[in-house]
Structure 1
Amino acid sequence: MFLLAKDTVKFSILVGFSAIFIDAVIAHGLFWDNDPYWTYWVTKTFLITTVFLFGTAFLGIGILPGLILTAAHTAILEIYYQWLAPVGLPQEPEWLDFNHLWVTGVPAHFLAILAGYLLALWLWRRNHPAQQIERAETRYFAIYGLLATALIVVVDGVLTQMVLLRDFPGITFFVQHILIGFVFVCAWTAYAGVGRIGWIVGSLMLALVWTAYNMYLGPRGLPLRPPTYSGYEDLWWRSFPGAFVSALVGWWLGGYLMKRRRNLEWTGVAMTLLFLAVAFDPAFGQTLPVEKGTNALLAGARASGEGMRVVGPDPTNMKSTQPINGEISIETSEMGNRWSHVQNTDGMRVRATFTSGDAQYEITVDKPMPRHPLGQYTTWSGVVYDHEMHGDTGIGTGKLPKMKPEIALWGWGTVKRDGQVIAAMAPVHIMVSSGERPMPGVMLEVDTEDKALAAEPDGYLHVMWPKVDELRMPTAQTRTRMIVGWIAMVGVVGLFGWLAYSAPGWRRKGVDA
């Protein structure tokens, strides 16, 4: 039985969600007892939906089409995770072995996806009576969706990746964008139509979908380079406008070519040659700087002169101190807070020297601590600006008052006493607070939680300079991002409000909704 275009989209999405549910609960939960993580779940849902949407347009729905399409999907899935992508992203990439892919993976994935398809088929048949639909009605719809998506991806490869970013994002990147783009173009076309407004707004929405996927889930570089994730400026000042223009051009061109179907073969050849030309263009070898795609927020501080050192069994007892004299310089780069050190790991460069009693100390920190060693609280990938901690916040220790330092960092440091290294990878926590904030100054803590600094009598170092000599914060960058964000939120409300109000058939006298 064949379905209308809109019903084909509905059924395929139902299959996608049903199949990924069975895959998550039975295959990965009961059978393997593992979690391949978010990029896998979302990308695989789009892969399932893509295969069954395109296949249903040609084969219709039923048990036999389900068996054929499930087999096709299983083959594509195993090939994809064999050569194009690891699991575990956006946290930690893991390339699957032969056993997981081909020995247990093929039958487990086939059965899980088939079960999801049969569940969707049963639900569909209970709610939709059989109709006689000609295959051609949905076949051209699927071809149009694939053609438009391919054109958009090719234009995006030239405009966004080659011209704006000047970096080849990897084959996996293009495969993921085709999967997402095909499902989106078909669903949007089925519900919004192919008119000018639908095409323009659809291009905007596809650009937003791609940007969100690139930000949270989709890496660059695979399969030949380690996965990296784009930062704020690459995403919003280059990728998003490039994707929007590419979608406008590719979507329009797809509609134009579908009206002249006799030219489709030559269009396919031209797109293939253009894509290959882009992929092997020497310009793609010119990458951005080493910290590509990070677009960090930079901050720094400095303090010097007299200070104090906490001594005794309690690192937070500010009444048990002795004087110190020295200086500390702090440079930080905050790369974002997307909860994965693969997506963003902050940068820091700290050097502190001070004299305490008869001893001379030097502490350097250049390795961030992306996570707390025991996961007790977040470290924001190493650096955070203007965030509450300690006190009753659940971050840090409740023995210190709640505070909101301008700069806070967690890292791994080297500690020297009188020129001798006494710790090579000691946990370090630093806070910089100025003005009327609680406990103003620069606070430097070394191993105050475990007190495992064996060469020190108390097992830790806790030093504080009461005055900040210099403080530099990314105020202008932060303000610009917030202004742009407010404008965007108000803009999309206005856009969708106008579209809803002016929808055909709803603007009647006395009716405005």
Structure 2
Amino acid sequence: MLKENTNVAVVGRAQTGRRLLLGDVCKFTAMAALLAIFVDAVIGHAMLWGNDPYWTYWITDTLLMATVFGLGTAWVGIGLVRGALITAAHMLLLTTYYWSLSPIGLPSQPVWLDLEHTWVTGLPVHFGVYYLGYVTALWIWRHRAARNVEPEHATARLATGGVALAVAIVVGAGLLQALFLGHFPGITWFVMRIAVASAFTIAWWSVAGRDRNAAVVGGITLGFLLVAYGHFLGPVGLPNSEFRLLTAAPPPAEVHWLSYRQEFLIILPTTILLAVSGYLLAGWSRASSVRWRAASITAVTAPTLALVLLGGGVALYTGPEAKTAFVSAEGSASLGGAPSDGGDMASGSATLRMRVADRNPRGTPLPPHDLVDIDASISALDGTTYTIHATEPMVAEPRGLFSTWYGVGFDVWHHGRSGIGYAGLPSTESNVAVYALGTVREGEQILATGVPIHVMTSSRPGARLELHIGQTQFQVPGIPGGYLRAVWPEYEGGHDQGLSYAQYAWGGGVLGVLLCFAIAAARREQEQNNGDLTE
């Protein structure tokens, strides 16, 4: 047995050097690419940017990453410095691809990324999340060699233990969530998360082992996995309260999504603590012989306390009101027809009162939909007065021509060559932009219902706020030209960007701490493994 363990260690050290066998390159590349895209989803897009790219982004990025990681690993091997260079190469290729060659939303919508999300924040964030995935894969690779992790026999006891542990973690997390948030998440919440946690637990034990260090890393990963599943795929509230046995018609599905504060400041830390504790207890008999030194404990405790303090500050800016915006304008306004008509704008007066909320940042038309409440009045020089009322968000453009952000968008680009809105308008960055369906009246007479209504703010001098009634392909009866546009030189209100800054701070803080932990852990495994120290 001693001879077999020695051979495993020798093979492990050989595999951590510059060159790998072809099979090892494939295994390491698959692990690094999957972990990198997972970190990109949960930290980059969910926690930091707060958006949900179309599914083609995830597939395209994973395949491109597997190609670059695979070629880079075959050429130069694995290691922290080599991995950083490979990650940088992939990041530049991906960024150039989406900036110059392909919209991020195809084939659903031709949505191009703006400068901020592509280059300004895109470069550092994408490098951080991809490199964290790579370093985690590197830690697993070296950990197996350093700890002589050998495959365990697939016994019924081991499989049952993994499922039992997953059940305990999910049930505990669900009960705490119900306690903290004041509502039961639903039976489906438990069923699907038990399935996710069971599969991951057994896979993690087979890949990383069950010692103390593997338990900590695995528990953190499982915590993020469960929260990411809930953020993108698992709304709360299923099944419906109506009981079904032999009823032919299905009941309605009344679901809702958790807020940013609930997901990432309450549920995420709670789930990670439960998962780490459960994994440590399950692997107690396989505790690592390497002791945690005082310096190591301090190195872990200090950043953790810093995150707790940061989370307390972020919580102040992530309440329900952070997703709400009020916009108002009144007095003199310029009135005209469709932007493509090219006609002169006439003078008039108009009033707008608008309250909107961006309640669902995910790539799904499922409710809850965004909140829209628009009241406007436009008085033309000929004495005609039009009143507009809209409370229904435009979840999708009726003909599928462009995205509408499911009704409400904050700090978004549209029009021009963006692929969103009207090409006849210049590219516009709006603090608040809204697409809705409303009713148009002339006096007491209803001219039309279900009319496309568009409101946007801008930074253009003399056109800080615009209201568009109708579309060029949707003529509103009773309005000359079938289209009415009002432009105000100034407006009051808008969306407070405190939420965006808070998300950047929290997502960036978590990413930075985890990346430092991962690099330190990978270097420690390298030292204990006596591997390639030349990088």
Under a length normalisation based on structure 2, what TM-score does the superposition of the two structures give? 0.60
Describe the SS at the equivalent of 1:399. coil
Report the equivalent of 2:344: 320
Describe the SS at the equivalent of 2:159. helix
Describe the SS at the equivalent of 1:406. strand
Report the equivalent of 2:514: 492
Displacement of 1:252 in angstroms is 3.8
Describe the SS at the equivalent of 1:386. strand
The letter of the residue matching 1:299 is: A
Contact 1:448/1:460 (8 A) holds in 2: yes
Displacement of 1:166 in angstroms is 2.1
* Of 219, 238, 262, the match for 1:234: 262
The letter of the residue matching 2:483 is: Y
1:476-491 mapped onto 2 (5 Å cutoff): 476-491=498-513
1:52-451 mapped onto 2 (5 Å cutoff): 138-159=155-176, 161-224=177-240, 225-255=253-283, 297-311=323-337, 314-317=338-341, 319-342=343-366, 345-356=369-380, 357-434=382-459, 437=460, 440-451=463-474
The letter of the residue matching 1:394 is: G
The letter of the residue matching 2:406 is: S
Report the equivalent of 2:96: none
Alignment partners' CA distance in 1, 2:534 and 2:390: 61
Displacement of 1:482 in angstroms is 0.8
Q: Deviations over 1:185-216 (max 9, x none)?
A: 11112222222221122111101001111111
Alignment partners' CA distance in 2, 1:168 and 1:295: 23
Residues 325, 340 of structure 1: alpha-carbon distance in 2 compared, 3 angstrom cutoff:
same
Alignment partners' CA distance in 1, 2:475 and 2:531: 77
The letter of the residue matching 2:488 is: W
Aligned residues: 350
The letter of the residue matching 2:370 is: D
Contact 2:526/2:532 (8 A) holds in 1: no
* 369-378 or 456-465, which deviates more: 456-465
Alignment partners' CA distance in 2, 1:186 and 1:512: 35
Report the equivalent of 2:245: none
The letter of the residue matching 1:228 is: H
* Of 450, 456, 460, the match for 2:479: 456
Displacement of 1:135 in angstroms is 10
2:495 corresponds to 1:466 = no
Greater RCO, 1 or 2 (C-alpha within 8 Å, sep 6+): 2
Contact 1:296/1:335 (8 A) holds in 2: no
Residues 379, 199 of structure 1: alpha-carbon distance in 2 compared, 3 angstrom cutoff:
same
Displacement of 1:504 in angstroms is 6.1
Contact 1:408/1:430 (8 A) holds in 2: yes
Contact 1:384/1:408 (8 A) holds in 2: yes
Runs (5+) with no aligned partner, structure 1? 1-9, 14-36, 43-90, 92-133, 260-292
Describe the SS at the equivalent of 1:499. helix
Displacement of 1:295 in angstroms is 7.3
Say what the alpha-carbon RMSD is for the aligned residues. Answer: 3.2
Identity %: 27
Describe the SS at the equivalent of 2:256. coil
Displacement of 1:407 in angstroms is 1.1
Alignment partners' CA distance in 1, 2:367 and 2:534: 45
Runs (5+) with no aligned partner, structure 2? 1-26, 31-53, 60-107, 109-150, 241-252, 288-318
Q: Deviations over 1:63-84 (max 9, x none)?
A: xxxxxxxxxxxxxxxxxxxxxx
Displacement of 1:233 in angstroms is 1.7
Residues 258, 499 of structure 1: alpha-carbon distance in 2 compared, 3 angstrom cutoff:
closer
Describe the SS at the equivalent of 1:388. strand
Displacement of 1:177 in angstroms is 0.8
Alignment partners' CA distance in 2, 1:337 and 1:465: 29
Report the equivalent of 2:311: none
Alignment partners' CA distance in 2, 1:135 and 1:252: 18
Contact 1:401/1:438 (8 A) holds in 2: no
Displacement of 1:182 in angstroms is 0.7
Describe the SS at the equivalent of 2:412. coil
Alignment partners' CA distance in 2, 1:407 and 1:368: 14
Describe the SS at the equivalent of 1:408. strand
The letter of the residue matching 2:327 is: A
Contact 1:363/1:416 (8 A) holds in 2: yes
Displacement of 1:419 in angstroms is 1.9
Alignment partners' CA distance in 1, 2:426 and 2:414: 9
The letter of the residue matching 2:434 is: L
Report the equivalent of 1:284: none
Q: Deviations over 1:226-285 (max 9, x none)?
A: 2332232221112211211221333344456999xxxxxxxxxxxxxxxxxxxxxxxxxx
Contact 2:463/2:489 (8 A) holds in 1: yes
The letter of the residue matching 2:199 is: V
Alignment partners' CA distance in 2, 1:388 and 1:136: 55
The letter of the residue matching 1:144 is: G
Alignment partners' CA distance in 2, 1:358 and 1:402: 33
Displacement of 1:507 in angstroms is 5.2
Contact 1:352/1:363 (8 A) holds in 2: yes
The letter of the residue matching 1:401 is: P
Under a length normalisation based on structure 1, what TM-score does the superposition of the two structures give? 0.62
Contact 1:155/1:249 (8 A) holds in 2: no
Alignment partners' CA distance in 1, 2:506 and 2:196: 26
